[in-house]
Structure 1
């Protein structure tokens, strides 16, 4: 078969010299030399870059030796030639995939940092419509090698245009359309299955545009931080459920004054303030049910009643009174947020 007989989707010069090289190997019984093998590898790379199907490339490489003499001597040389073509082709494909992955992750990193350079153009390449609302979920406790697996599984279900996954600040970050809440659930499912104990997922609220992605990411990361500071036991924390806490922190002076005014008397309690603070947290978490609070604490209901009476005597506030309960609960939340009393310069 002559090179000019090659199909239209295979450039005429792609396997140029291939038939002659095979004929030489058939005549001498020698295998292709290193230079020839490298030429085959380069041809495989070029075929991949041109989008020539691998099957077409291999078929034509094999067909070039069909009518040559000494087929038995030709077979080892043909095998080496095809192997080099495939190695070049597959290497080029792998390199292209890695470049695409690197570009994708760089895009996500730029997006989360709010770097606006060519964001719209790059977003279009990845199938994102930045005018829409997006939600960001972050997971803590990432183990090496899990990012790629989780990303592949999410893309397999929801499509590459609906999911962006990256690692930032030691968090696994997932960006999905706000109209696709199932993707956040699926992300959490894979984190639960693959991360070691101690994992936690934070979920931001949906926001529009590139700036909205940054906002949702910051909300998700802040939700994790608040959950730690408040000692929450939730595996999944949503920024939408914690909106009161950023409000509290906006006026640190006021919340510090509230905490010290209400809770500083507990520092004089025999046995320390911590058991009393934990009792208040358990009562609030149990919606005022003292028996349920006792079960949470692992103590008797009588012990809870006794502690609440001590709190009332020391502070003058009782969780049984609706107004006082709100003041106490806000003070306890502020204490956890601001690491009272260690985080206060002037605790009495």
Structure 2
């Protein structure tokens, strides 16, 4: 693969995008959205010591969201769009190879997606200067975001070379992105609900029927006819119910781009063990889904609330669970690489067979 020819294809693609007014409109709208998010975040988290962490994670997640929404339109018609306008055939008769054409268009689409990250950099700097951010969090989030933008670009360019019509290839790219984002959530919810298991619940509660009228069991001191909390009669009941088994389908979330980004960032917790940003919130939820439900659950309502055992914090729940971001990233890379290779094979000339109505020159 010749780097000079690759750079030429990439330069042609980028110059076409730079000349488009719609490109600058998208970047401007994106900047306005970030300004609104920054204003709302700073006002919401101004009194919190973790405000900068939340703002930084919100900006990174917003960049990923907008990239997933816009990138299919930028890359989903990269190859078949040129074929439709009869500009692909003149390039194919030059010394440029098919692989260089497809890879060059992929690199151009990747750089175009990264332009949104460049627009967001001033806001990231503001979030960094506004508080103490862990350098590992910043580096990990930016690296994973850059890789995710490249994966979406590769999926779009690959499908644009496989599918004959630009409209269908753009729609197919959106379908793949929707399957990775929304589809994994739907499959996780439905799968966990379908795979249920029995759980025995044992409860002890106050016999409210035996309590004299007007008595508050939590404030009674034993004077008069009102017994103390320790003197109350308790009733124990046992019943069996079905609970979902999300621990058997949590791996479906591994390929979700937002889960990959959140799980790859090193978690930070406050003194109580709760996440300090949006990354930690998402990662903690996925880690908690890995824990199977207990076969037996008990609740003692005959114990004062102050003596009730506290629940485990998200940091404690994450102990003993496994990160999944590298598995999800590998799945995404396999999908993107497979579509790119398929696209190169479909674009290679001379072609043995072409779909009906395909324009050559």
TM-score, normalising length from structure 1?
0.20
Bigger Cα Rg = 1
TM-score, normalising length from structure 2?
0.20
